């Protein structure tokens, strides 16, 4: 059995789109985090998440990653969109899930930053795999104009 990985084989990643809702259930701001120093695309803004380990469901991976990175526990996650991205360092299949229910205090355990944003996103630069998500939000919310700066 070879330890060499085919670079075209996608890595499955669970991504949490944490969204605030008002009393009427209308979606509001969403959480972005910066990629920490030492990681590819350090300083770029993205939705938090991470690799799905063998035997994990998307929800299990998302719950584990958000606890490891942000110190929170999530309730139900709602599968939303999937996206294949080819980055110079890897091909990733992103499984985006909306999350409306979480508990705990946010702790930036990887020394990353966090920001609650709305459209257009003011933080920059935005990770390429995040841009389609902002476009999906724009379509859902009837947002006209740019989805992010830069």
**What mean pLDDT, rounded, does the chain reach?**
93
How many structural domains is the chain composed of? 1
Report how far residue 77's alpha carbon sits from residue 58's, in angstroms, rounded to the nearest whole number.
Answer: 9
- What is the number of alpha carbons within 13 Å of residue 112 lying toward its C-beta? 29
Confidence label for 6 from pLDDT (cuts 50, 70 and 90): very low
Range of the domain at 66: 11-141
Average pLDDT estimate for 86-111: 95
Percent of the chain whose pLDDT exceeds 90:
88
1 within some domain: no
Residue 3's CB is within 10 A of a number of other CB atoms, namely 4
Percent of the chain whose pLDDT exceeds 70:
95
Q: Is the pLDDT assigned to residue 29 strictly greater than 70?
A: yes
Rounded (5°) CA angle 39-91-49: 50
pTM summary value: 0.90
Q: Is the pLDDT assigned to residue 120 strictly greater than 90?
A: yes
148 within some domain: no
73 within some domain: yes
- Summarize pLDDT for 70-90 with one digit per residue, the tens: 999 999 999 999 999 998 888
101 within some domain: yes
Confidence label for 3 from pLDDT (cuts 50, 70 and 90): very low
146 within some domain: no
In which residue are the tokens 């902002």 written? 134
Average pLDDT estimate for 113-125: 97
147 within some domain: no
In which residue are the tokens 């938090």 written? 48
DSSP H or E segment with residue 67: helix 58-70
CA-closest candidate to residue 30, choices 145, 144, 138: 138
Confidence label for 1 from pLDDT (cuts 50, 70 and 90): very low
Report how far residue 145's alpha carbon sits from residue 138's, in angstroms, rounded to the nearest whole number.
Answer: 9
- What is the number of alpha carbons within 13 Å of residue 132 lying toward its C-beta? 11
149 within some domain: no
CATH code: domain of residue 117? 3.90.79.10
97 within some domain: yes
Report how far residue 41's alpha carbon sits from residue 94's, in angstroms, rounded to the nearest whole number.
Answer: 16
């Amino acid at each position: 059995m070879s330890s060499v990985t085919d670079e075209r084989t996608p890595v499955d990643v669970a991504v949490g789109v944490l969204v605030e809702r008002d009393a009427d259930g209308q979606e509001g701001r969403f959480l972005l985090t910066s990629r920490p120093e030492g990681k590819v695309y350090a300083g770029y803004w993205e939705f938090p998440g991470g690799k799905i380990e063998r035997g994990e469901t998307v929800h299990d991976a998302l719950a584990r990653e958000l606890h490891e990175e942000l110190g929170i526990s999530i309730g139900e996650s709602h599968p939303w969109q999937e996206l294949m991205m080819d980055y110079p360092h890897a091909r990733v299949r992103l499984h985006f899930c909306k999350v409306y229910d979480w508990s705990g205090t946010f702790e930036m355990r990887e020394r990353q930053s966090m920001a609650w944003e709305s459209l257009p996103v003011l933080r920059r630069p935005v990770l390429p795999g995040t841009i389609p998500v902002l476009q999906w939000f724009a379509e859902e919310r009837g947002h006209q104009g740019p989805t992010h700066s830069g």
